[in-house]
């Protein structure tokens, strides 16, 4: 997934009228060098670019040991809450430009902590489900894997794309389609994805349990497939 993250970074720079300071392959080699220097056998690397007026950009990488959530969360699932604030309009900010403008996410995260929720779910301005505070959202309905489309104002998550591909390879029907909050309430299963959470089961939204309140078989299957192939994804 390293290659996909870097390609998304290059696309974000282009969207801002900027360019990467080095070719992608050079940056990739630099990152793997930083990983080796960190001493971590498995790590999350956060790369950021900084510009000052028209001066050349500066690259900064922060390495931290990769630690996923406690296994209990994967066994029991997590609780989400619907955010009061809405996801920004596509005309206001392009969600495919991954920038450091996380104010809405930070405010939502504070709200989530105060309510003991794992994350908040943003709705778009039309009332459809967009994404979580830092995650993409999926549901399973009649063995079909469904997720909001990019047009709902979401970031095209790298893990989201990997999970869609894995689900298709596993013979599951996948579809990007608008989802309402009712679709989540009435889903057979629900899960969320991001780099550190991987495939995290969601068993409760607001005050309602999703299905029987337990992680479902499709979610478990996708999590197993993802974990079995993690090393392959990370070196791409």
Is 136's pLDDT higher than 90? Answer: yes
Enter the DSSP assignment of 133.
S
Is 98 considered catalytic here? yes
| Residue 34: predicted pLDDT | 84
| Residue 231: predicted pLDDT | 63
Distance of CA 162 to the CA centre of its chain: 11
Mean pLDDT, all residues of the chain: 83
Walk me through the domains of the chain, giving residue ranges and CATH numbers: 2-65 (no CATH), 71-230 (3.20.10.10)
Average pLDDT over residues 199-223: 96
**How confident is the model over 10-67, as pLDDT tens digits?**
776 776 677 777 888 888 888 888 888 888 878 788 888 777 766 667 788 888 888 8
Q: Which residue bears the tokens 């940056």?
A: 27
Is 105's pLDDT higher than 70? Answer: no
Average pLDDT over residues 72-76: 96
Name the most confidently modeled range: 82-86, 107-111, 217-221. 217-221
Q: Please compute Rg for the chain using Cα positions.
A: 18
What length does the chain have? 236
Catalytic residue, from 67, 76, 98, 142: name it.
98
CA angle 200–188–175, rounded 5-degree value: 80
3-class secondary-structure state, position 37:
helix
């Amino acid at each position: 997934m390293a290659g996909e993250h870097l390609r998304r970074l290059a696309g974000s720079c282009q969207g801002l009228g900027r360019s990467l300071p080095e070719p992608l392959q050079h940056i990739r080699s630099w990152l793997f060098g930083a990983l080796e220097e960190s001493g971590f056998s498995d790590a999350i690397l956060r790369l950021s670019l900084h510009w000052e007026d028209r001066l050349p950009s500066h690259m900064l990488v922060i390495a931290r040991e990769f630690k996923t959530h406690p296994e209990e969360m994967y066994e029991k699932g997590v609780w989400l809450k619907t955010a009061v604030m809405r996801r920004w309009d596509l005309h206001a900010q392009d969600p495919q430009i991954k920038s450091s403008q996380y104010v809405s996410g930070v405010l939502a995260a504070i709200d989530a902590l105060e309510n003991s929720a794992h994350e908040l779910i943003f709705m778009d301005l039309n009332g459809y489900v967009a994404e979580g505070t830092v995650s993409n959202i999926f549901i399973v309905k009649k063995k079909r894997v469904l997720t909001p489309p990019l047009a709902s104002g979401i970031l095209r998550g790298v893990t989201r794309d990997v999970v869609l591909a894995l689900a298709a390879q596993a013979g599951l029907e996948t579809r990007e389609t608008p989802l309402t909050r009712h679709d989540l309430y009435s889903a057979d299963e629900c899960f969320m994805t991001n780099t550190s959470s991987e495939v995290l089961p969601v068993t409760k939204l607001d005050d309602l349990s999703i299905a029987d309140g337990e992680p479902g078989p499709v979610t478990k299957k996708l999590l197993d497939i993802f974990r079995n192939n993690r090393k392959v994804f990370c070196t791409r």
